[in-house]
Amino acid sequence: MTVYEGTSATRPDRRFGRAARRHVDLLTNSGSLMGTTVVTSVLGFAYWWVAARAFPADVVGSASAAVSALTLVGTLSMFGMGTLLISELPRLPDPARRWNFIVTCLLVATTAAAAGGLIYVGLARFAIPGLRHSIGSWPMTLMLLLGVVVTATTLVLDDGLLGLMSGPLQLLRNTYFALIKLALLGALAFVPLAVGPGHLLATWVAGALLSVLLLTLSLRRRGLSAAVRPDRSMLRGRLVQALEHNALNLALFVPRTVQPLVVAAVISPAATAAFYTMYMIFSFVTMLPNNLATTLFAAAAGNMTALRAKVRMALLLSVGLGVPASVVLALVARPVMGLFGPDYANLAGTALSILALTYSALLFRPLYFAIARVRGRVPRASVFAVIAGLAELGAAWYGGSHDGLTGLALWLAGVWVLQGLYTAPAVLGVALRRPDAWKHAAGRHRA
Question: What pLDDT does residue 436 have?
Answer: 47
Crossing angle, helix 81-88 and helix 95-122, to 10 degrees?
170
pLDDT of 65-117, one tens digit each? 788 788 888 988 898 899 899 888 888 877 778 889 999 999 999 999 999 99
Question: pLDDT-derived band of residue 25, with 50, 70 and 90 as boundaries?
Answer: low
Question: What pLDDT does residue 1 have?
Answer: 44
CA dihedral 391, 397, 403, 407 (to 10 degrees): 30
Is the CA virtual torsion 105, 148, 145, 76 positive or negative? positive
Question: What pLDDT does residue 256 have?
Answer: 82
The pTM for the full model equals: 0.77
Q: Which of 352, 158, 368 is nearest to 252 (CA)?
A: 368
Higher pLDDT, 245 or 440: 245
How far is 315 from 217, CA to CA, in rounded Å? 37
% of the chain exceeding 70 in pLDDT? 88
% of the chain exceeding 90 in pLDDT? 37
Question: pLDDT-derived band of residue 6, with 50, 70 and 90 as boundaries?
Answer: very low
CA dihedral 100, 246, 75, 364 (to 10 degrees): -110
Question: pLDDT-derived band of residue 302, with 50, 70 and 90 as boundaries?
Answer: low
Q: Which of 269, 398, 401, 261 is nearest to 343 (CA)?
A: 269
Confidence check: pLDDT of 175 > 80: yes
Q: Which of 147, 148, 217, 139 is nearest to 176 (CA)?
A: 217
